[in-house]
Amino acid sequence: MTEGTDISVSRRAFLKLGRRADPDVLRPPGTNAALLTEQCKSCSACIDACPEQIIVAGAGNFPVLDFSRGACTFCEACADACPSGAFSKDIVPQWSWKAGITSACLSLQGISCRACEDACEPRAIRFRLALGGKSEPVLDQHQCTGCGACAYQCPAAAVTFTRVEPNKEEDPA
């Protein structure tokens, strides 16, 4: 009897170990890898609730944000829909993902494009003249909300996202 219980417990622990959410993946606002690993039942309620349809099932069937489908409005419909405690309204304000623009940017290659600047409501992206008559995108991380609108509109998939801790935001070095 005791042996059977031990086997069942260790099997549960083993299954849990095999389903760990990756902390370096964009999650819907209000949740994180630790909460998902502990609480998410992969029921798809958050996926179905998102009016922007930008939540998809990722590795381990945990929800991830896909900015190639649209931008996040931070409406919290996903958090409201979750029945399992995998979201916490307390961590919505801690959303610390910020956009960055890679060398794939068309403008950096001399092709006229301002799609990201046009998409950015808080005006976090500006362009300045660079060598050779090119325009270089400059992103103000303090203004960036991490909404993904620029990534959605970028025709070159040149926008990436990284998590910026508050102290690093002050001093990116």
Interface residues with ligand SF4 (CB under 6 A)?
28-29, 49-50, 52, 54-55, 72-78, 99, 119-120, 122, 124-125, 139, 144-150
Query: Which of 161, 170, 167 lies closest to 25 in space, CA to CA?
Result: 161
Cβ contact 100:73 at 8 Å: no
Write down the least CB distance from residue 33 to ligand SF4, Å. Answer: 16
Query: Which of 94, 34, 22 lies closest to 60 in space, CA to CA?
Result: 22
Token duo for residue 129: 């003249």
Phi-psi region of 44 (alpha: psi -120 to 50; beta: other; left: phi over 0): left
Write down the residue that tokens 């993904």 correspond to: 148
Write down the least CB distance from residue 122 to ligand SF4, Å. Answer: 5
Closest CB to ligand SF4 among residues 62, 148 = 148
Write down the least CB distance from residue 63 to ligand SF4, Å. Answer: 8
Write down the least CB distance from residue 132 to ligand SF4, Å. Answer: 24
Closest CB to ligand SF4 among residues 13, 75 = 75
Closest CB to ligand SF4 among residues 27, 37 = 27
Closest CB to ligand SF4 among residues 75, 104 = 75
Rounded Cα distance between 86 and 49, Å, is: 14
Tell me, what DSSP letter sits at residue 91?
G
